[in-house]
Structure 1
Amino acid sequence: MSSRSPKTIGLGLALMLALAACGDGEAGKDHAHGAETGHADEAERGPHNGRLLRDGDFALEVTIFETGAEPRFRLYAYKDGKPVAPSGVGALIAVSRLGGDVDRFRFRPEDGYLAADGTVKEPHSFDVTVTATYAGEQHAWRYESYEGRTVIDDDMARQSGIVTEKAGPASIATTVEILGRVAFAPGAEASVKARFPGKILSLTRQAGDSVKAGEVLARVESNESLQTYSVTAPIGGLIVERAATVGDMAGGDALYRIGDPGRLVADFHVFDRDMARIRPGMEVDISPVSGGSAVRSTIASFLPVTDISSQSVLARAPISGEGRWIPGMSVRGRVIVEESPVPLAVRTAAIQRFRDFEVVFARVGNTYEVRMLELGRRTPEWTEVLGGLAPGQDYVTGNSYLIKADIEKSGASHDH
């Protein structure tokens, strides 16, 4: 645990953070309470590697013991440099946390030390007040012991793209992932054919051109009447394919194929293992397999036939967003098969690894500090929080890796 004050990021450091973010080094694990990595001389250490507090010829060593047990304060008393029986010492510790919470600990004598009556919850980052009584005399000390904490002014936070929001309730969705392709909706695609066989005299459009319903696309000379007639577009949309050339003989084959890009569907393969869970009317989030943001749609229907090659049933969902989706594009669907509210959740993208914990970084004013989380259900968007974060707490949702990188570079480690 670090004993130095949190620092403010400078512009040069902020520019360096992005380079540091790719590293995933863990903070140090020296368990001497109050010692600072790289600054051990700032706090005198006792025989048990804890912070040694002196007042005249009386001294108290403060440690947090957590080997194979929940972390608890242990105190060792000394008079003129020699150990004092713990039964003759009274002690209290109050730790003031970022945000105003205060935890207080009383102590009872055990085998050679004083043991706290409660565990020290994570993070071990606080302002510490220690009072002790021995031989009728009172002693008091105050010191800082910070872990996973840094200070960033508002302007620098904005320049660094750091975004926060309040932790609160959310809906956690259970999803089933399915794969499929974008296709034209029924009735949104048409073939353009000549009415009578004959020579193609002209073709007015190329693949990719926009056309309107009724627009002339070709002129053909009939073999029987030798009269010229026009071939028009049966629907509006885009020319998907031009399949003929001027001078060719028109017959039963299509001259063009037209599709309406404003009327698209995603056809998903649903296999036997998921058929009992997915039903028409369920919401589905659709995104390109290659990556990108999702759009929400609804499973409209199941086609009444099984795909022979994959032995799956096709589930169809309408999809909007002309220009973004192209027929034939591979897409991923996440079908929401169950959705339930939870009282407290954080955005999954905000969660980082810190030491052996999954954490977010809380913000109080200009100060940012790690919060170790107990987590429940998880989705790509939200993760349920069972403990470690207070409802309504501001936490970093955008560029949280910058906070982690800065804390790790500062040496604000878990030292007791």
Structure 2
Amino acid sequence: MTKYLLGAASMLALAILAACGEPAARKDGEEAATAGEYERGPHRGRMLRDGNFALEITIFEDGVAPELRVYAYRDGKPVKPSEVQLTVELGRLGGKTDRFAFIPQDDFLRGNGTVAEPHSFDVRVRASEGGRNHIWSYASYEGRTVIAADAARTGGIRTEAAGPATISDLIDMGGRVEITPEGKAEVRARLPGLIVALSGKLGQQVRRGQVLARVESSHSLQVYTVTAPIGGTIIGKNVNVGDTTGDRALFTIADPAQLHAEFFVYPRDAERVRVGQPVSLRSLSGEGRFEGEVEAIVPTADIASQTILAHVHLPPGASREFRPGMGVEGSFAVARAEVPVAVRTKAIQRFRDFEVVFARVGDTYEVRMLKTGRRTPEWTEVLGGLAPGDVYVTDGAFLVRADIEKSGASHDH
């Protein structure tokens, strides 16, 4: 049985982790060489050869935005850049093509634009020199892999389209759970007298109007009943049979379903917290989670801490997870904004020095370097690197990243 399980796990891993390679440069009509096999030139660039003429193509990014720099050679010797006319097309996954013209500079030809990340494309190079034309094409992939649809489903890979979302500016605070004023009542005798009977017990569940005690009035000597003003649990009992009522409460009743959270708002945040703002509530264990809103703000500050109290309503079902006196954490949405492009925060991974998501086109997955803005636990604003409507991996992104790392599709020019 163990061998079977191990074998099944291995088969699943092999189905998901399908490697991708980087074929060598070729002239049109030639077949791709084995992955990673290509000649490097003096500047560590890719050599493209046609007869006695050759180009060395590089992406230079030392202290500048990534740009194409191309060196020309004839019979192994440098050729003046002014003697070569050159264009390069970079075909991106999804159909977009970046086109570059070149101008001579020093001993190389410099592309007229920035080579955007990721540096992953199908390259087509056209050059003219000495009355001859040359054309090359090759694949240069980075952060790309192919995973069959069945394997992706089996591995739990899920995707969705990037699009607009509501991003909140959050303030995190700590507080405690308390019973609301409406959910607590003290039971008192109407008239002074002798307690002759008690039916209420500590911890007992009672309903509104239920008889809890009988009192013999000191004035009329008649016995009258004391009933529960609200339904709930008796959490305090202060008398016994034979005691006199006096001014004290006989019982304290609390309804554990009527809860709110009290948060301690420090002066730096006091001006930003408002009644009606949504709040995400979490128990300290992290297991209980509810959405609420600010229902009231107590305007007076505590003398010692200089905090004010913000009350957040808890729905009746919260009593299963939150109990009076427990600590609670809350994220207050003090400002909200609609952004045109956002991704699920859980989808973001690390790739080299970038925050990325993995875009999907058919069965092909490729890294997308993101420029991000505002962020919440659910959404992250995208300022660059992903367009509205682009499909990206939301669940199982670590499998895609593992497959890319396994294939060795690295940042190599």
TM-score (norm 1): 0.80
Match of 1:175 in 2: 170
Which stretches in structure 2 are left out of the alignment for 5+ residues? 1-9, 19-23, 26-33
Q: Distance in 2 between matches of 1:310 and 1:263?
A: 27
Aligned residue for 1:42, secondary structure, equals coil
Whether the 8 Å CA contact 1:125–1:146 is kept in 2: the answer is yes
Aligned partner of 2:235 among 218, 236, 241: 241
Q: Choose 265-274 or 401-410, whichever is displaced more.
A: 401-410
Please state if 1:385 is matched with 2:379: no
Q: Distance in 1 between matches of 2:162 and 2:310?
A: 36
Q: Distance in 1 between matches of 2:199 and 2:277?
A: 49
Pair 151,210 (structure 1): closer, same or farther in 2 beyond 3 Å: farther
Where do residues 27-176 of structure 1 align in structure 2 (5 Å cutoff)?
Answer: 42-176=37-171
Deviations 1:218-271 (A, max 9, x none): 56696989999876433223x263658998968677675432233211111122
2:380 corresponds to which letter in structure 1? T
Match of 2:5 in 1: none
Deviations 1:30-82 (A, max 9, x none): xxx98xxxx88611222222222222333222211111111112222233333
Match of 1:22 in 2: none
Match of 2:393 in 1: 396
Pair 392,16 (structure 1): closer, same or farther in 2 beyond 3 Å: closer
Pair 316,101 (structure 1): closer, same or farther in 2 beyond 3 Å: same
Aligned residue for 1:87, secondary structure, equals helix
Match of 2:406 in 1: 409
Aligned residue for 2:399, secondary structure, equals helix
Q: Greater RCO between the two (CA within 8 Å, min separation 6)?
A: 1
Deviations 1:106-137 (A, max 9, x none): 22223222221212111000111112223222
Please state if 1:363 is matched with 2:368: no
Please state if 1:317 is matched with 2:312: yes
Q: CA deviation at 1:340?
A: 2.2
1:124 corresponds to which letter in structure 2? H
Q: Distance in 1 between matches of 2:17 and 2:194?
A: 72
TM-score (norm 2): 0.80
Pair 90,339 (structure 1): closer, same or farther in 2 beyond 3 Å: same
Q: Choose 170-179 or 318-327, whichever is displaced more.
A: 170-179
Match of 2:328 in 1: 331
2:235 corresponds to which letter in structure 1? E
Match of 2:369 in 1: 372
Q: Distance in 2 between matches of 1:226 and 1:155?
A: 85
1:280 corresponds to which letter in structure 2? V
Match of 1:12 in 2: 13
Q: CA deviation at 1:163?
A: 2.4
Match of 2:339 in 1: 342
Paired residues, what number? 385
Whether the 8 Å CA contact 2:53–2:74 is kept in 1: the answer is yes
Q: Choose 137-146 or 306-315, whichever is displaced more.
A: 306-315
Q: Report percent identity of matched pairs.
A: 53
Q: Distance in 1 between matches of 2:17 and 2:96?
A: 34
Aligned residue for 1:170, secondary structure, equals strand
Aligned partner of 1:213 among 208, 230, 234: 208
Q: CA deviation at 1:390?
A: 0.8
Q: Distance in 1 between matches of 2:294 and 2:108?
A: 66
Whether the 8 Å CA contact 2:280–2:292 is kept in 1: the answer is yes
1:241 corresponds to which letter in structure 2? I
Whether the 8 Å CA contact 2:235–2:254 is kept in 1: the answer is no
Q: Distance in 2 between matches of 1:367 and 1:16?
A: 12
Whether the 8 Å CA contact 1:176–1:337 is kept in 2: the answer is yes
1:390 corresponds to which letter in structure 2? A
Pair 304,40 (structure 1): closer, same or farther in 2 beyond 3 Å: closer
Q: CA deviation at 1:176?
A: 2.7
Whether the 8 Å CA contact 1:220–1:250 is kept in 2: the answer is no
Aligned residue for 1:307, secondary structure, equals coil
Aligned residue for 1:11, secondary structure, equals helix
Q: CA deviation at 1:161?
A: 2.6
Match of 2:7 in 1: none
Q: Distance in 1 between matches of 2:393 and 2:244?
A: 65
Match of 2:21 in 1: none
Which stretches in structure 1 are left out of the alignment for 5+ residues? 1-8, 18-32
Deviations 1:178-231 (A, max 9, x none): 32111111121234567854476766x663x64422345x56696989999876
Pair 219,378 (structure 1): closer, same or farther in 2 beyond 3 Å: closer
Pair 99,246 (structure 1): closer, same or farther in 2 beyond 3 Å: same
2:322 corresponds to which letter in structure 1? W
Q: CA deviation at 1:374?
A: 1.8
Whether the 8 Å CA contact 2:117–2:369 is kept in 1: the answer is yes
Q: Choose 81-90 or 66-75, whichever is displaced more.
A: 81-90
Whether the 8 Å CA contact 2:122–2:137 is kept in 1: the answer is yes
2:364 corresponds to which letter in structure 1? T
Q: CA RMSD in A?
A: 3.4
